[in-house]
Structure 1
Amino acid sequence: MSRDISELMDDLDGGTLSEKVSRALAATAIRAVDTAKGGEVLLSLKLKPIRNSSQVEVVHKIKTDYPTMNGNVVESDENSTIMYVGPKGVMTINPPDQMKMFGEKE
């Protein structure tokens, strides 16, 4: 079973990646409407294995290219998040075998 993409996105970049993508889309959309020119938002996710572990570094980059009246503006935001890889490739911020704390029930 795979993990829902929205849950995964909420774990990346300390929980801020989803918000950053939403802001980039909104900024590009309003500028596209205002200038009658197209724009682009690219989300890139690169996975780099961490040696001798069941973890990967997820390098996430948002590149925004939005139009202006006289051209365009390109911005990028890049960061990374360490994720555990559990059974069947499910990525989580916490180890898959971590014990529940403070009496939490499953």
Structure 2
Amino acid sequence: MKATDTAEFINELNAGIFARQIGHALSEVAAGVVDYKKVGTVTLTFTLKQIADSHQVTINHKLAYKVPTKNGSSSEDTTLDTPMYVGQGGRLTLFPETPHADQLFSRNDAPIHAKS
């Protein structure tokens, strides 16, 4: 079984924007923790729901974070959805896995056949 590639998975959510949002949140929280010597949090939540009877799921991804401030804290959260395919063993990918990932069609399935 080939497991989901976590780095690839995160980078594919919302076309890479989610990964940048996580980086921003981590930096904001780390700066607040060091500046004000208080605890901060970054929380990622993933909720998966099957799309009809397909081998696809909608992944609801939520980022919430709490930044320590001088007089308390500030918080922000964002929630978006990304559809993904579920491959063999539950592997999540943006595109469907095929027996030959680099070729979607066999020569016999080609829409235009070569002249003989």
Alignment TM-score, normalising by the size of structure 1: 0.88
* Amino acid in structure 1 at the alignment position of 2:17: T
* Amino acid in structure 2 at the alignment position of 1:8: F
Q: Are residue 62 (structure 1) and residue 69 (structure 2) matched?
A: no
Number of the residue aligned with 2:11: 10
CA distance in 2, matches of 1:33, 1:99: 47
Q: Are residue 87 (structure 1) and residue 88 (structure 2) matched?
A: yes
Q: Which stretches in structure 1 are left out of the alignment for 5+ residues?
A: 102-106
CA distance in 2, matches of 1:45, 1:94: 19
Number of the residue aligned with 2:75: 74
Structure with bigger strand share is: 1
8 A Cα contact 2:64 2:78, kept in partner: yes
Question: Secondary structure of 1:8's match?
Answer: helix
Q: Which stretches in structure 2 are left out of the alignment for 5+ residues?
A: 105-116
Q: Percent identity over the alignment? A: 34
Alignment TM-score, normalising by the size of structure 2: 0.81
Post-superposition CA distance 1:5-64 (Å, at most 9, x none): 001111111112221111100000001111111100000111111112110000000001
Question: Secondary structure of 1:72's match?
Answer: strand
Question: Secondary structure of 2:81's match?
Answer: strand
8 A Cα contact 2:12 2:94, kept in partner: yes
Question: Secondary structure of 1:16's match?
Answer: helix
Structure 1 or 2, whichever has the larger Rg, is 2
Question: Secondary structure of 2:95's match?
Answer: coil
* Amino acid in structure 1 at the alignment position of 2:68: P
* Cα deviation, residue 3, structure 1: 2.4
Runs of 4+ off more than 6 Å: none
* Cα deviation, residue 96, structure 1: 1.5
Question: Secondary structure of 2:28's match?
Answer: helix
